[in-house]
Amino acid sequence: MTVFLTLFRQFIWRALVREKLRSVITVLGISLGVGVAVAIRLANVGALESFRAATDSVAGETSIQITGSAGRFDEMVLADLGWLRSYGQVSPVITGFAKADLSNIDSDSGEAAVADSHGPYLQVLGVDVLRDRLLRRYRLLRVNDNGAEPGIRYLLMLLADPQSIVLTEQFARRHQISIGSRIFLLIGESRRAFVVRGLLMDEGPARALQGNFALLDIAAAQLSFNRVGLLDRIDVKLKSGSDIGEVEREIREKLPDRLRVLRPETGYDQVEKMIAAFQFNLSALGSIALLVGLFLIYNTVSISVITRREEVGSLRAVGTTQVIILGLFLGEALLLTAVGTVVGLGLGRILAGAAVQITATTVETFFIASAATEAVVRHSVGVDEVTLAFAIALPLSIVASAVPALEAARVSPIEAMRGAERLARSFKPSIKHLLLSSTLFVGAYRFSSLDPTNGLPIFGYVAALMLMFGGAFLVPNVLWLACVVNSRWLARLFFTAVIEAKLASANLRASIPRVSISVAALSVALSMMVAVSVMIGSFRDTVSYWVGETMVADIYAKPITRAATTDEGELSDEAIKVAQNDPQIEAVYPFTTQQIIYADEPVTVGAGDFATFLKHGRLLFKAPSDARDQIRDAIGHDFVTVNESFSLRFKKYVGDMIELPTAFGSHEFKIVAIYYDYSSSRGWVVMHQGTYAKHFPYSRPTSMSIYLQPGADAEVVSERLSRAVDKDAQILFATNVDLRREVMRIFDSTFAITYALELIAIVIAALGVISTLITLILERRGEIAVLGFLGATHRQLRRMVVMEALLIGGVSQAIGIAIGLMLSLVLIYVINVQSFGWTIQFHLPLGFLVQSTLIMIGVTAVAGLYPAARAAKTDVVRFARAE
Amino acid sequence: MPILVVDNVDKTYDGAGRAVNALRGVTFNAEAGDFIALTGPSGCGKSTLLHILGGIDRPTRGRVLLDGVELVSLSEEDLARLRRKKIGFVFQFFNLLPTLTVAENVELPLMLDGISNSSASKRTTEMLERVGLGGRAAHYPAELSGGEMQRAAVARAVVTRPDLILADEPTGNLDSENGTQVMKLLAELNREMRITVILATHSNEAAQYAVRLLHMRDGVIEEIA
């Protein structure tokens, strides 16, 4: 061991220190790869963990929950559930989200102050405090200046006034709110005033959502959330010693059909399932950076072996065993990876903040309402992340460096006596590589046709990996061909640099075995960039077309607090009437939505007047292609249309029956049409409003589409409606143009992170190219010196190296585009469909491909400048003396 | 006027923390078509002198004029251009570029000088025929014997019809038969093309092909014969 460590220090460590630049580049590449992977993990875990923490905190000591099968339920049901008390403590709950209007704290509510709708979401709990105190811990900070800790009776008194609210100490401190302050909350379409009567200590539910929690008396909550006579759920804390599973079974058997029992963590499990595909895709994309980083390890060790063959031969000649040689080079890989991983962990923590910010909009829009509030990484780099990073990176680095390390172990002592490999082996095109590539491409095709696993497109990603490796194996032959073509034909295009181009081709051709890996790494990174860009471009075109075809209303209105992931806010009859009575409005299409659980996943049930829709609205139907007759038939029947996500996720098609939980128990509906929908990855079921009212009586319209008379100005009418509704009504009126813009904005922000990830992968690969070129120049310094002897000027030497870089860039881009286009097909037709249930129309972005080619050629030329400068500075005199 | 004038050239460089006087007051001239052998023990300064004559290195003191042009006054770029046109090098270890074919190696100085493809190709073919490698033009150096490689190197050195050839131990890596072959070639080209040849060598057999001998010791020309 001592011998090994001594040799390691003398042979490996000193070389790494001597070749600082190359070592730094390799470490940087690994650290970027690890950093990205860690950042994605922290962002993913952070989003869910904060949601879990909130769910757990708010749940308190709740063992099970009773909810309506179709959402809210009549509170009179409580009277029939007296038997629940035999199992433990029972507490009815109203829960919802409200936006805090922080700009109007303590302002005079008599004035129509402009509401600030950008405040944080507050999770509001409405409970009967007397009953609830055994399920959740409420400790008030203080309620007066006496300093005595108030008891539950005091809390009860506090909340007796329907305008009373209890906030958290954390929230109050953050926003400079004190006891007695008046605060406005935007709840649905209403803006309601409350007076802060107490502050909860930072524990229990108060700790949820970074203190963004509020407590109301249940009656006040019912009034504020427009749920008078309704409940959201009943929380039950079982007696100690109860078997939860057993009790759950018993209760389930006793409950009427319209109610169901579940555990508090079910909500978290459902969201986790929904967000899984998004997070999986993000992790997969982030892994590309790590993969490219590992290419760098292979490259570095490979070059280290090649340039030091003579030294290795000398070591063998003096008696070093093959095992030690193998260990030395594996050790080099491990050392570089370990250092890169440590740096990467720190980098990951920094990048995680950016990752969370970039993905916050997407997570909030599609999965967790309060995510944007939590746009801070709650989860630090802990033991889990450190262990995972090392557990993945170190073994992979051994795999990456195994081949060159074994090659080093096989170097015979005679290499030392013969001298360095001055006579280069020229590369010959290999049928073996072509066969390997073909096999991988065929394999990719087969894997891409397999079904998802638990909703995750695992085989799709396997197919993608096979395509990437297939492309990598093409590199040597394509490089050879490019060198030949350049030398024989393209060089003539360079006019004054013909010899530099020929020399570049000759050098590269001889270096193909060494250069291939870094070219492959750059090709892989580029192919992912092309694939993702083509996919996003196609997606954007599809969404843009869809928006153009289906968003035909002139104005859209919804309560200001309504988001895709909250169940909050309904439009009042007054607001709808105001629209219907406007002389410039031809038709109003109120739409109602309700979130239910279908096959253990949240889906949305929606309803509108199909007659109005048939006259004014539009949907793009997948099956049948024109479903207007089916929509007409659905009026008065239990027929529904579903979106593509629903159909693909649950494998339900036109003609199938689905059983949905309704307010009165399960009921069967028939699917008569499937439509394209890019507004959500959730499943949607849409029915005529009459059918809906029959089965879901407790919901009211949550949005409306407004169709104007010909010639009416949408901005003007929008403005008029805003003024005409109740002054405290918080309704967002958006014109068609504004809404389309918002849809595209959300779309663009959703994919912002993918661009960032791909850019990082390209940077890593470019570092590999620089590292390789520098090494090749060092290895060829004798030849470069000879060129100096023969009269090559510094400029000619620089041009030669830059042209080598350009050839590398050109080949990488060519393979990148070819493989990238194939990958885009996998992304579009396999991964996206299996993850989100979206059909995307393929669109070839020629302009982008041309632009990216030019940029890549520019980038590689720039990457070649430093190695070129080093080549030009080759000390001819020193070489001459050494000769 | 002599084609080469070396006037009181000194060369001092730092070696392991102390100054090393590699050349001291070296002075000699060479006419066009001269064949001069530099002899002397290892470390006497033969190679250093060749490097200075070739514009690869610069003297600490003194002057070197090649065809009337003072080398010290030239920039690096100008020296490079000068070497292309007026100086050919032949090395002990041949130093052919392994990534180029024999023909490509030979035509390299012409290509560096911007000579057109067709013209360069013609001259290259002629030169390869002259050195007996006409049939090996498309081969790579790895496929040649030592003697063949050195003959290719000689062809490369003379393809531009330079004023001066600097040969540093050209037979040092060859067996006696190949060494003789290469020296004969150099002598023939010296006579036919009136190229001045300065040969640094340990080999007495090689030195015999020269017309003049300059014997060096410790950086000084001891004897001229």
Query: Taking 70 as the threshold, does the pLDDT of residue A437 lie above it?
Result: yes
> What is residue B125's predicted lDDT score, i.e. its pLDDT?
95
Query: Taking 70 as the threshold, does the pLDDT of residue A840 lie above it?
Result: yes
Structure tokens, A134: 């055994």
> What is residue A328's predicted lDDT score, i.e. its pLDDT?
92
Q: Cβ contacts (< 8 Å) between A793 and chain B: which residues?
A: 76-77, 80-81
Structure tokens, A42: 């922290």
Q: Quote the CA–CA distance of A328 and A310 in Å, as a whole number.
A: 15
Interchain proximity A791–B54, CB inside 8 Å: no
Chain B: residue whose CA lies nearest to A511: B99
A624: confidence class by pLDDT, cuts 50, 70, 90 = very high
pLDDT digits (tens, 9 = 90+) for B18-39: 788 889 999 999 999 999 999 9
Average pLDDT rounded to a whole number, residues A208-233? 87
A819 against A45, higher pLDDT: A819
DSSP state of A720: H
Query: Taking 90 as the threshold, does the pLDDT of residue A515 lie above it?
Result: no
In chain A, which among 191-230 make CB contacts under 8 A with chain B?
Answer: none
Give the CA distances from residue A140 to residues A53, A130, A154, A161, in Å, rounded to whole numbers and listed in that order: 21, 15, 10, 17
Q: Which of B82, B99, B117 sits opposite A509 (nearest CB)?
A: B99
- Which domain does B108 fall in, by range? 4-224
> What is residue A882's predicted lDDT score, i.e. its pLDDT?
62
Chain B: residue whose CA lies nearest to A419: B93
Interchain proximity A794–B98, CB inside 8 Å: no
CA angle A47, A592, A729 (to 5 degrees): 80
Distance between terminal CA atoms of chain B?
A: 21
Query: Taking 80 as the threshold, does the pLDDT of residue A88 lie above it?
Result: yes
Q: Quote the CA–CA distance of A469 and A230 in Å, as a whole number.
A: 58
Chain A: residue whose CA lies nearest to B87: A790
Residue A679, classed as helix, strand or coil, is coil
Q: Which residue from B149, B155, B224 is spatially nearest to B195, judged by alpha carbons? A: B155
Q: Quote the CA–CA distance of A237 and A19 in Å, as a whole number.
A: 66
pLDDT digits (tens, 9 = 90+) for B117-169: 888 899 999 999 999 999 999 998 889 999 999 999 999 999 999 999 999 99
Interchain proximity B112–A880, CB inside 8 Å: no
Mutate to test the interface with B, among A789, A793, A876, A878 (most CBs of B within 10 A): A789
B11: confidence class by pLDDT, cuts 50, 70, 90 = very high
Q: Tell me, yes or no, if A499 comes closer than 8 A to chain B by beta carbon.
A: yes
A712: confidence class by pLDDT, cuts 50, 70, 90 = very high
Indicate the pairing of strand A233-238 with strand A88-101: antiparallel
A745: confidence class by pLDDT, cuts 50, 70, 90 = confident
| Å between B72 CA and nearest CA of chain A | 15
Q: Quote the CA–CA distance of A170 and A200 in Å, as a whole number.
A: 8
Interchain proximity A788–B80, CB inside 8 Å: yes
Residue A773, classed as helix, strand or coil, is helix
Cβ–Cβ < 8 Å for B198, B164: yes
Cα-atom radius of gyration of chain B, to the nearest Å?
A: 17
A765 against B195, higher pLDDT: B195
Q: Which of A790, A881, A883 sits opposite B109 (nearest CB)?
A: A790
Average pLDDT rounded to a whole number, residues A19-32? 85
Structure tokens, B46: 């033969």
Query: Taking 60 as the threshold, does the pLDDT of residue B212 lie above it?
Result: yes
Cβ–Cβ < 8 Å for B147, B174: yes
Query: Taking 70 as the threshold, does the pLDDT of residue A427 lie above it?
Result: no
Cβ–Cβ < 8 Å for A334, A394: yes
Cβ–Cβ < 8 Å for A606, A593: yes
A422 against A471, higher pLDDT: A471
Cis, peptide link before residue A624, omega less than 30° from 0: yes
Query: Taking 90 as the threshold, does the pLDDT of residue A855 lie above it?
Result: no
CA angle A194, A198, A203 (to 5 degrees): 120
> What is residue A375's predicted lDDT score, i.e. its pLDDT?
45
Q: Quote the CA–CA distance of A794 and A787 in Å, as a whole number.
A: 10
Mutate to test the interface with B, among A499, A794, A795, A877 (most CBs of B within 10 A): A499
Q: Cβ contacts (< 8 Å) between B93 and chain A: which residues?
A: 422, 883
pLDDT digits (tens, 9 = 90+) for A359-392: 766 666 555 555 444 444 555 677 878 888 898 8
pLDDT digits (tens, 9 = 90+) for A45-57: 776 676 676 677 7
Q: Quote the CA–CA distance of A870 and A872 in Å, as a whole number.
A: 5
Indicate the pairing of strand A230-231 with strand A213-217: unpaired
Alpha carbon A23 to its chain centroid, in Å, reads: 32
Chain A: residue whose CA lies nearest to B93: A883
pLDDT digits (tens, 9 = 90+) for A118-167: 677 788 889 988 888 888 877 776 555 555 556 666 767 767 788 889 99
A600: confidence class by pLDDT, cuts 50, 70, 90 = confident
Mutate to test the interface with B, among A422, A483, A790 (most CBs of B within 10 A): A790
A807 against A725, higher pLDDT: A807
B213: confidence class by pLDDT, cuts 50, 70, 90 = very high
Average pLDDT rounded to a whole number, residues B169-187? 91
In chain A, which among 237-276 make CB contacts under 8 A with chain B?
Answer: none
Query: Taking 70 as the threshold, does the pLDDT of residue A180 lie above it?
Result: yes
Cβ–Cβ < 8 Å for A58, A123: yes
A111: confidence class by pLDDT, cuts 50, 70, 90 = very low
Alpha carbon A728 to its chain centroid, in Å, reads: 37
The dihedral through the CA atoms of A830, A833, A836, A839 has a sign that is positive
Provide the CATH number for the domain around residue B46: 3.40.50.300
> What one-letter code names the amino acid at A150?
P
| Cβ atoms within 10 Å of A422's Cβ, excluding its own | 15
| Å between A15 CA and nearest CA of chain B | 22
Average pLDDT rounded to a whole number, residues A5-30? 85
Q: Tell me, yes or no, if B140 comes closer than 8 A to chain A by beta carbon.
A: yes
Average pLDDT rounded to a whole number, residues A173-195? 85
Q: Which residue from A240, A287, A222 is spatially nearest to A89, judged by alpha carbons? A: A240
> What one-letter code names the amino acid at B87?
I
| Å between B168 CA and nearest CA of chain A | 10
DSSP bridge pairs for A492: none
| Å between B208 CA and nearest CA of chain A | 24
Q: Cβ contacts (< 8 Å) between A514 and chain B: which residues?
A: none
Q: Cβ contacts (< 8 Å) between B109 and chain A: which residues?
A: 790-791
Range of weakest confidence among A88-97, A257-266, A448-457: A257-266
Q: Which residue from A96, A101, A97, A134 is spatially nearest to A116, judged by alpha carbons? A: A101
Q: Cβ contacts (< 8 Å) between A873 and chain B: which residues?
A: none
Q: Quote the CA–CA distance of A424 and A412 in Å, as a whole number.
A: 18
Cβ–Cβ < 8 Å for A528, A465: no
Q: Which residue from B48, B153, B56 is spatially nearest to B97, judged by alpha carbons? A: B153
Residue percentage of chain A with pLDDT more than 70: 86
A287: confidence class by pLDDT, cuts 50, 70, 90 = confident
Interchain proximity A426–B92, CB inside 8 Å: no
pLDDT digits (tens, 9 = 90+) for B183-206: 999 999 999 999 999 999 988 888
> What one-letter code names the amino acid at A249?
R
Query: DSSP assignment of A497-553, as one string?
Result: GHHHHHHHHHHHHHTHHHHHHHHHHHHHHHHHHHHHHHHHHHHHHHHHHHHHHH---
> What one-letter code names the amino acid at A233?
R
* A616 phi-psi bin (left φ>0, alpha ψ -120 to 50, beta other): alpha
Interchain proximity A510–B99, CB inside 8 Å: yes
The interaxial angle of helices A781-790 and B76-86, nearest 10 deg, is 70
Cβ–Cβ < 8 Å for B125, B94: no
A853's CB contacts (< 8 A; 6+ apart) are: A813, A817
Q: Quote the CA–CA distance of A56 and A41 in Å, as a whole number.
A: 21
> What is residue A372's predicted lDDT score, i.e. its pLDDT?
42
Q: What total number of domains does chain B contain?
A: 1
Interchain proximity A426–B142, CB inside 8 Å: yes
A232's CB contacts (< 8 A; 6+ apart) are: A67, A71, A72, A93, A94, A95, A96
| Å between B99 CA and nearest CA of chain A | 5
Q: Cβ contacts (< 8 Å) between A786 and chain B: which residues?
A: 91, 95, 97
Q: Which residues of A172-204 are buried (b: 16+ CB within 10 A; e: fewer)?
A: beebebebebbbbbbbbbbbbebebbbbbbbeb
Q: Cβ contacts (< 8 Å) between A507 and chain B: which residues?
A: 99
Q: Which residue from A344, A310, A346, A308 is spatially nearest to A329, judged by alpha carbons? A: A308
Cβ–Cβ < 8 Å for A198, A71: no
Q: Tell me, yes or no, if B62 comes closer than 8 A to chain A by beta carbon.
A: no
> What is residue A630's predicted lDDT score, i.e. its pLDDT?
92
Chain A: residue whose CA lies nearest to B53: A789
A871's CB contacts (< 8 A; 6+ apart) are: A777, A784, A797, A798, A800, A801
- pLDDT averaged over every residue in chain B: 90
Q: Which of B51, B84, B104 sits opposite A880 (nearest CB)?
A: B51
Query: Taking 60 as the threshold, does the pLDDT of residue A704 lie above it?
Result: yes
| Cβ atoms within 10 Å of A715's Cβ, excluding its own | 12
Query: Taking 90 as the threshold, does the pLDDT of residue A298 lie above it?
Result: no
Q: Which residues of A127-159 are buried (b: 16+ CB within 10 A; e: fewer)?
A: bbbeebbebbbbebbebeeeeeebeeebbeebb
| Å between B83 CA and nearest CA of chain A | 5
- pLDDT averaged over every residue in chain A: 82
> What is residue A422's predicted lDDT score, i.e. its pLDDT?
40
In chain A, which among 426-445 make CB contacts under 8 A with chain B?
Answer: 426
Q: Tell me, yes or no, if B100 comes closer than 8 A to chain A by beta carbon.
A: yes
> What is residue A587's predicted lDDT score, i.e. its pLDDT?
92
Q: Cβ contacts (< 8 Å) between B140 and chain A: which residues?
A: 426
> What is residue A766's predicted lDDT score, i.e. its pLDDT?
78
Interchain proximity B76–A498, CB inside 8 Å: no
Average pLDDT rounded to a whole number, residues A577-597? 90
Q: Which of B98, B99, B111 sits opposite A498 (nearest CB)?
A: B111
Indicate the pairing of strand B18-30 with strand B4-15: antiparallel
